[in-house]
Amino acid sequence: MFASYMFVSDSKLTKKVLKDQLKESKDKRQELSDKLTESEYEKQQLTGRLKTTEEERNQLTGRLKTTEEERQQLKDTLKATEEERQQLNGRLKTTEEERKQLTGRLKTTEEERQQLTGRFKTTEEERQQLTGRLKTTEEERQQLKDTLKATEEERQQLNGRLKTTEEERKQLLED
């Protein structure tokens, strides 16, 4: 009977130990279930954050791509502007050289104009002198013409007198 009491007592003890172990296992299971639920919740939150972060990363990647394209366009525009600036500088240099040449030509032309003005003035003075000489020569010519006319008249008179004298001499010789 002792043995059966012991068996019953062992059996009660075993039952109690098993109950305690079962309770412990249930508690442990509940604790793990709670942790699993909490982990699932954290996983969902992290998945949501990951998705949000991935979307933000995609947006930032898109913005980065757009910014890179804009940067490249600005770089191309800058290059074109720099080339245009160099062309304009070249044209400016050429225009400045042309301006200097034209300034030199203008100076030379002005000097030539002044020389021609001087020559014109000298020529005008010479023309006036020649006009004066021409007038004097014309007056002298007129005087010589008048003298020639008077001399011609005098010659005719002398020829007439010579003829008369010649006729008188002939008559005297004939007589």
Give me the count of residues in the chain: 175
Distance CA 134, CA 98 (A): 51
Report in angstroms the alpha-carbon separations of 90 from 3, 58, 82: 121, 47, 12
pLDDT, one tens digit per residue, over 36-87 is 999 999 999 999 999 999 999 999 999 999 999 999 999 999 999 999 999 9
Copy the structure tokens of residue 160: 């007439």
SS3 content of the chain, % helix, strand, coil (to 5): 100, 0, 0
Tell me the average confidence (pLDDT) per consecutive run of 10 residues in the chain, 175 residues long.
Answer: 52 84 92 92 93 95 95 97 97 97 97 96 96 95 95 93 90 81
pLDDT of residue 9: 64
For the range 2-8, what are the long-range contacts, defined as Cβ-Cβ under 8 Å and sequence gap of 24 or more?
none
